[in-house]
Amino acid sequence: MSVVDDMAFWIFALTAIVSGWRVFCTDSMVRASFLLLASFIAVGLIMLLLGAPYLGIATIFMMGVEMMVMALFMVMYMMNPAGLNPMVMVHQHRFSIGAGIAAFVGLAAVMLVTDFADNPVASDARVVTDLGKELLGDSMLIFETAGVTLLATMVASVILSSRSGRFGPADEGSVPPPLEPGGQPAGRLPEEGGGHGHHHH
């Protein structure tokens, strides 16, 4: 590895960690999603350095789409959309601190205990071809099962949320949930015979 490669590695590694940490400090869903994207892009670039071009760029590409969809759906379905509105992004503090420490210790132990491979692949090895053969050869069943499951999930979520969906026309008779069980729907009720139609006569 040349000095340039080393420097690139440290820059990407630092970017990945710092932006991953900032995800939990920011006060907006959108910022959190795209900070996570920045972290993944840095990891993708490290994979490029490691000589896994397809996996690296596919990570960047998939995460780009994924974080975009995530940001959009979170803002769409949240009570407080917190786009540019600040909101607290962390909850269940004690449990998450415990889980965080456990995960850190576990992963650090794996890193220290594992005997990592130390045989560089020849620079003219056809890594992308080999990966394709693996994905559509021995691992085809796993790969395709995961793919079809994800596709079924996507189709199902579109059917459930579409206007003419499972629960009838989506824009008819939808009322916000009550604030206490069995109470009136939250928010302002539409006025009797409302709308602006009468003003035009």
Partner 1 sequence: MTPIVLTVAWVAFLLGMAWYVAVLDGLWAAAREGRSLRTPLANPLYRCATMLRQQSNLTEAPDLLNWRLAPALYAGLAGTGVALVPFSGASVLADLEVGIVWWGAVEALTVVVVFLHGWSANSQLGLIGAYRYVAIGLPVMLISMFVLIAAALPAESLAVPKIIESQRELWNVIRQPLGLPLFLLIGLSLSFRGPFNYADSADLADGTASEISGAARLVWEFARLAMLVATAAMAATVFLGGYLGPVLPGPLWLLLKTAAVLVLLVALSHLFARISPSRMLTLIWIVLMPLAFIDLVWAGLVAL
Q: Which residues bind partner 1 (CB under 8 A)?
A: 30-31, 34, 37, 53-54, 57-58, 60-62, 64-65, 67-69, 71-72, 83-84, 128
Structural element, H or E, at residue 34: helix 29-49
CB half-sphere exposure, 187, CA atoms < 13 A = 9
Alpha carbons 21 and 13: distance in angstroms, whole number = 12
Crossing angle for the helix pair 127-135 and 53-77, nearest 10 degrees? 60
Alpha carbons 61 and 80: distance in angstroms, whole number = 29
Question: 68: closest CA among 124, 13, 17, 30?
Answer: 30
Q: Which residue type sits at 94?
A: R
Question: 140: closest CA among 126, 44, 148?
Answer: 148
Contact 44, 53 (CB under 8 A): no
Alpha carbons 126 and 110: distance in angstroms, whole number = 29
Sign of CA dihedral 135, 136, 142, 148: positive
